[in-house]
Amino acid sequence: MAEERKELIKLESGEAEQPFRWSAGVYGSKFLTELRDNKRFVGVRCPRCGKVYVPPRNVCGPCFVELTELVPVSDEGEIITFTVVSFGFVDPSTGKQKPVPYGYAVIKLDGVDTYILHYLDETDPQKIRVGARVKAVFEEERTGSMLDVRHFTLLDR
Amino acid sequence: MGKRVAVVGVGMTKQRSSRPDVTGQELINEAVRAALEDAGISRRDIDAVVIGNMDHFEGINYVDTWSVDGSGALMKPIMKLTTGGTTGTTVAMAAYYHVASGLFDRVLAIGWEKNSESDTTGAIITAFDPFWDRPIFAGAVAGLALEATQYMHLTGATEEDAAYVAARERRHALNNPYAHLHINLTIEDIMNSPYLSWPVKMGDMCPRTDGACAVIFASEDVVDEFPSQPAWILAVADRHLWAYTSDPYVNQALENGWWFPALEWAAGEVYDKVGIRDPLKEIDVAELYLPYSFAGLRYMESLGFCERGGGPALVRSGATDMGGECPVNPSGGVMSSNAIGATGLLRVAECALQIQGRAGDRQVPEVKIALATGFGGCFWSDVLLMGREMPEKPRG
């Protein structure tokens, strides 16, 4: 008797897509519209501990109080830590392969107590350092997204 | 007051890169049948089931419902949990809480994943905020690379220090027939492997794995029914500190120095409850959720096995090798097998086998106290301390 041929079937989800509509909230919306319309960063300050949050949110976790005070913050800051991504993966925001390599960093904007993630305009890790100064470079066409900032550029090359 | 609780049975599938021969339910069933057989009981004896995975890796939600035939939960209480990398340890802790409450005597915990069914990095990114994180964030590999850069900057640790850890894990995995990777990678091999996300290289990272694990928890009132020696839960704790992916770096670098507060706090809590003062000496074996090599340096510091910055010297001393003061990951750990929802529960299962003296070629002699941890998302932590002696009381 001939050995049974083993065929293991897989079902591909292919181009299937499930759309979502997420809410940024009042403070997230204010942040994104300022970015889009005025190329400015704003944060929100805790009335109890004074910590300034970016991205803005309406609660300070440690104090557990409501945050209402919007404050302007700088578009410059420093690198807290960084990486250069060189492996390929599917970007769930687009369904496409993310273009690599790219550098990105945890950035502390001046006047802010929290950090943001953003792209760097450098892909050689030997040319990036913790503590380096960076400044936001804005896109010409802006839509109200973190990607209205194209990347942060290294200031002291 | 609650009941004291022991692990009385474990089952695991062989961890493999891909299991196209089984569905999720069938994979779960392999581990469950192994655990029931190990405990010498049948499906009927189980009072409740706790199960966990991360839905977004398979894209099929509600495993608690669609796996009931395979999990053995048909017409029984079942609860599903998803907490990221910690899923397996959270499942173990929830099973512990079920039994410790006194409401259930025999609870089955299941963790599983089929990481072969999706792009792991893409799926992980969907756990993060679509406005602030997703546009930039590149999943676990890059998130961990950010930690590695910060750690090297603050301590002077090197990529070669990390490679020592990765080589240890792969060497230990050779003793574990269930491990996914059976490759004796040398430090040189790891240093020569390509960068995935600088400074993290291919050899530094865990694999993507298909696998399942099942563990049976029993109350002090019924442990005598089971053939193997009970592996008691001495204390458990967990801590979270994350809202957006960049938040942990704030907590670590600004407010608390540069360590890992969720792990340090959770470990400190279980040590206090059990009376552990010198973890390196008092703990006989550790099965730690080390998702990549640098974790095997920094987390040793947060677990109190050495001073901050002392991780490289500790691992290079051999203290964490087989035969050392406290062997870490005799199973080969997460860097050798990472079916994500199963991974934390495997740590608990391995600790149980070590306490019971049933760990085969990976057995550490005379294990009285064993430490299991779970690591998730952006640096949250589960910690379980287990032991051979029944504790004085159950400790949350």
Backbone angles phi, psi at B133, to 5 degrees: -105, -50
Q: How confident is the model at residue B251 (pLDDT cuts 50, 70, 90)?
A: low
**Nearest residue on chain B to A124, judged by CA atoms?**
B198
Tell whether the model's pLDDT for residue B200 goes beyond 60.
Answer: yes
Q: Which residue has the higher pLDDT, A6 or B176?
A: B176
CB proximity B123 to A under 8 Å = yes
Q: What pLDDT shows up at residue A93?
A: 85
Q: What pLDDT shows up at residue A3?
A: 62
Q: What pTM was estimated for this model as a whole?
A: 0.96
Q: Answer for the pair B202, B173: CB distance below 8 angstroms, yes or no.
A: no
Interchain proximity B132–A116, CB inside 8 Å: yes
Which tokens go with A97?
Answer: 């392969």
Q: Answer for the pair B259, B150: CB distance below 8 angstroms, yes or no.
A: no
CATH of region B5-119+210-225, choose from 3.90.230.10, 3.30.450.370, 3.40.47.10, 3.40.250.10: 3.40.47.10
Interchain proximity A81–B149, CB inside 8 Å: yes
Q: What pLDDT shows up at residue B185?
A: 95
Range(s) of the domain holding residue A93? 25-154
Q: What pLDDT shows up at residue B241?
A: 80
Reported as a single tens digit per residue, the pLDDT across B10-39 is 999 999 999 999 999 999 999 999 999 999
Which tokens go with A103?
Answer: 């550098």
Average the pLDDT over B140-160 and give the result: 94
CB proximity A57 to B under 8 Å = yes
Compute the distance between CA of residue B223 and CA of residue B295 in angstroms, rounded to an integer.
36
Q: How confident is the model at residue A157 (pLDDT cuts 50, 70, 90)?
A: confident
Tell whether the model's pLDDT for residue B353 goes beyond 60.
Answer: yes
Q: Determine which of B60, B126, B149, B244 to mutate to test the interface with A (most A C-beta atoms within 10 Å).
A: B149
CB proximity A21 to B under 8 Å = no
Q: Across all residues in chain A, what is the average pLDDT?
A: 93
CB proximity B193 to A under 8 Å = no
Most confident of B122-126, B240-244, B301-305: B301-305
Q: Answer for the pair B233, B384: CB distance below 8 angstroms, yes or no.
A: yes
Length of chain A in residues, anyone? 157
CB proximity B247 to A under 8 Å = yes
Average the pLDDT over B313-325 and give the result: 98
Q: Report yes or no on A13 lying in a domain.
A: no
Q: What pLDDT shows up at residue B254?
A: 47
Interchain proximity B136–A104, CB inside 8 Å: yes
Q: Report yes or no on A15 lying in a domain.
A: no
Nearest by CB: B21 against A8, A13, A146: A8
CA distance, residue A33 to nearest chain B CA (Å): 13
Percent of chain B whose pLDDT exceeds 70:
97
CA distance, residue A91 to nearest chain B CA (Å): 5
CA distance, residue A1 to nearest chain B CA (Å): 23
Average the pLDDT over B133-156 and give the result: 93
Type of residue found at A106: V
Q: What pLDDT shows up at residue B256?
A: 52
Measured over the CA atoms of residue B210, residue B263, residue B132 and residue A68, the dihedral's sign is positive
Question: Which ranges in B200-309 belong to alpha helices (H)?
Answer: 247-250, 261-274, 279-282, 295-302
Q: What pLDDT shows up at residue B260?
A: 83
CB proximity B243 to A under 8 Å = yes
Q: How confident is the model at residue B255 (pLDDT cuts 50, 70, 90)?
A: low
Question: Which ranges in B40-158 belong to alpha helices (H)?
Answer: 55-58, 63-66, 68-71, 87-100, 120-125, 139-155
A–B: how many Cβ contacts below 8 A?
112
CATH superfamily of B130-207+234-387: Thiolase/Chalcone synthase (3.40.47.10)
Q: What pLDDT shows up at residue B377?
A: 79
DSSP-assigned letters across all residues of B69-92: HHHT-TTS-EEEE-BTBTHHHHHH
Tell whether the model's pLDDT for residue B218 goes beyond 90.
Answer: yes
Tell whether the model's pLDDT for residue A1 goes beyond 80.
Answer: no
Q: Answer for the pair B145, B137: CB distance below 8 angstroms, yes or no.
A: no
Q: Report yes or no on A17 lying in a domain.
A: no
How many domains does the structure of chain A reveal? 1
| In chain B, where the domains are located | 5-119+210-225, 130-207+234-387
Q: What pLDDT shows up at residue B109?
A: 98
Compute the distance between CA of residue A74 and CA of residue A54 in angstroms, rounded to an integer.
11
- B134 contacts on A by Cβ (under 8 Å): 92-93
- A11 contacts on B by Cβ (under 8 Å): none
Q: How confident is the model at residue A15 (pLDDT cuts 50, 70, 90)?
A: confident
Q: Report yes or no on A5 lying in a domain.
A: no
Q: Residues 6 or more apart from B347 whose CB is under 8 A from it?
A: B88, B89, B287, B288, B289, B372, B373, B374, B384
Type of residue found at B316: R
Q: How confident is the model at residue B249 (pLDDT cuts 50, 70, 90)?
A: low
Tell whether the model's pLDDT for residue B252 goes beyond 70.
Answer: no
Backbone angles phi, psi at B88, to 5 degrees: -65, -40
Q: How confident is the model at residue B257 (pLDDT cuts 50, 70, 90)?
A: low
